[in-house]
Amino acid sequence: MAVSMVADDEFASAYLRDGRVKIPGVDAIPERSGLLYLSALNDPPYDVMVVPIANLVVAMDLGRPLTGIPVFPDMFFPHTGPRVNKNAGIREPKDLEGKRVSTRGFGFNPSVWMRGALIHQYDVSVEKITWVEEEPNSMSGVEFQRSRRFRIEKGGSAADDLESGRVDAAFFGRGGPEPTENTEHLFVDPLAEALAYRELTGIFPPNTVQVISERALADNPGIGQAIVDGNDEAWDLYCKEAADSDDHMGLPVKFLRDNGMFPHRNGLESNYSGVEMVSRYLFELGLTKRAWRPEELFFAGAK
């Protein structure tokens, strides 16, 4: 049985998508649509997909028939994403308390990571923030649990609401939009804050992860490791060809190389601490019923 797979046309995934790297037993790989996240947990159209890592943990917590493959197509630091309205009086993370903060879904992976950093790196009481949830988002229609200790409201476009002042701050992924006349970074030097987080935790946070349907995994012995091996080959090519001037998820490749984070390796062992941390954050924030151990999230024998 051939396995259907979808991938992004960027970073190492581009080498899989255009056929320069092939995975035995995997069909031709179409480019992922931005709308795929909306169906990935409820009605997955492919056997193998890329989803935000928070979504994988929530899916497992809900008993969805998906299993992780320890391939992490993009890594990031959430510190590059927060923006604030210049009129909101926010000069440091603690000033977010009592404010309205927009996010692309309460379970939006960069927001999960940023809330964790606010709690553990900056001593912010995230329960004192009103969270404004943009729709649609990557977990629209997914009935995951939400703690009643948070104030969550529905909102419109995070960028538009921030620009107009309807919200005081917004958390974005991929480095966020360029600051405007009315908006600016929460952090004066986001890369310095990212390094401080790495110093505190030892973690380079994963943003997305590959998942496979339980049916495809059972029907194709060895497919999980074959996909890891193919992605490792693609990753080696990507790292070899990436220029210092390139950007990886809002982070300059030169910055990553200079600080020992590029090349990064796939695999459960290499990313165990990062997976464990996001699982812990999700549980602390009341988004899952328990803190999942990393080995529970991936196919048996994943290394």
Evaluate whether residue 7 is within a structural domain. no
Q: Check whether residue 83 and residue 191 sit in a common domain.
A: yes
53 found inside a domain:
yes
User: In this structure, what are the phi and psi dihedrals at residue 24, rounded to the nearest 5 degrees?
Assistant: -55, 130
Pairing of strands 151-155, 130-134: parallel
User: Domain check: are 155 and 136 in the same one?
Assistant: yes
Does any domain span residue 6? no
User: Of 201, 235, 259, which residue constitutes the final position of a domain?
Assistant: 201
Cis peptide bond N-terminal to 263, omega within 30: yes
Last residue of a domain, one of 201, 236, 264: 201
Angle between helices 109-122 and 190-201 (to 10 degrees): 70
Structural domains counted in the chain: 2
Identify whether residues 193 and 213 lie together within a single domain. Answer: no
Within a domain: 260: yes
Among the listed residues 109, 259, 110, 244, the one whose alpha carbon sits nearest the alpha carbon of residue 196: 259
Q: Are 196 and 209 in the same domain? A: no
Place of tokens 């480019």: 31
**Residues whose CB is less than 8 angstroms from the CB of residue 3 and which lie 6 or more positions away in sequence, other chains included:** 25, 26, 27, 47, 48, 212, 216, 220, 223
pLDDT string in tens for the chain (303-residue length): 589 998 888 999 999 999 999 999 898 788 776 656 666 778 888 999 999 999 999 999 999 999 999 999 999 999 999 999 999 999 999 999 999 999 998 999 999 999 999 999 999 999 999 999 998 878 888 888 889 999 999 999 999 999 999 999 999 998 899 999 999 999 999 999 999 999 999 999 999 999 999 999 999 999 999 999 999 999 999 999 999 999 999 999 999 999 999 988 999 999 999 999 999 999 999 999 999 999 999 999 999
Same domain, 150 and 175: yes
Q: Residue 2: inside a domain, yes or no?
A: no
Instruction: Judge if 263 and 284 occupy the same domain.
Output: yes
- Phi then psi for residue 6, to 5 deg, are -125, 150
56 in a structural domain: yes
Question: Which of residues 140, 166, 201 is at a domain's end?
Answer: 201
Give Cα 230 to chain centroid, integer Å. 21
Q: Is 303 inside any structural domain?
A: no
Tell me the sheet residues that pair with 183: 85
Instruction: Please tell me whether residues 189 and 278 are part of one structural domain.
Output: no
Give the CATH number, domain containing residue 212: 3.40.190.10
Q: Are residues 57 and 92 in the same domain?
A: no
- So what's the pLDDT on residue 241? 95
Read off the tokens for 117: 């950093």
The DSSP bridge partners found for residue 210 are 50, 69
259/235 same-domain check: yes
Statement to judge: residues 49 and 94 lie in one domain: no
Claim to verify: residue 124 and residue 19 sit in the same structural domain: no
SS (H, E, C) the chain: CCECECECCCCCHHHHHCCCCCCCCECCCCECCCCHHHCCCCCCCCCEEEEEHHHHHHHHHCCCCEEEECCCCCECCHHHCCEEECCCCCCCHHHHCCCEEEECCCCCHHHHHHHHHHHHHHCCCHHHCEEEEECCCCCCCCCCCCCCCCEEEEECCHHHHHHHCCCCEEECCCCCCCCCCCEEECCCCHHHHHHHHHHHHCCCCECEEEEEEHHHHHHCCCHHHHHHHHHHHHHHHHHHHCCCCCEECCEEHHHHHHCCCCCCCCCHHHHHHHHHHHHHHHHHCCCCCCCCCHHHCECCCCC
> Could you tell me if 184 and 86 lie in one domain?
yes
- Does residue 5 fall inside a structural domain? no
Angle between helices 109-122 and 268-284 (to 10 degrees): 80
Q: What is the pLDDT of residue 142?
A: 85
Q: Which residues form the domain of 39?
A: 13-75+205-296
Spatial distance between the Cα atoms of 217 and 142, rounded to a whole number of angstroms: 23
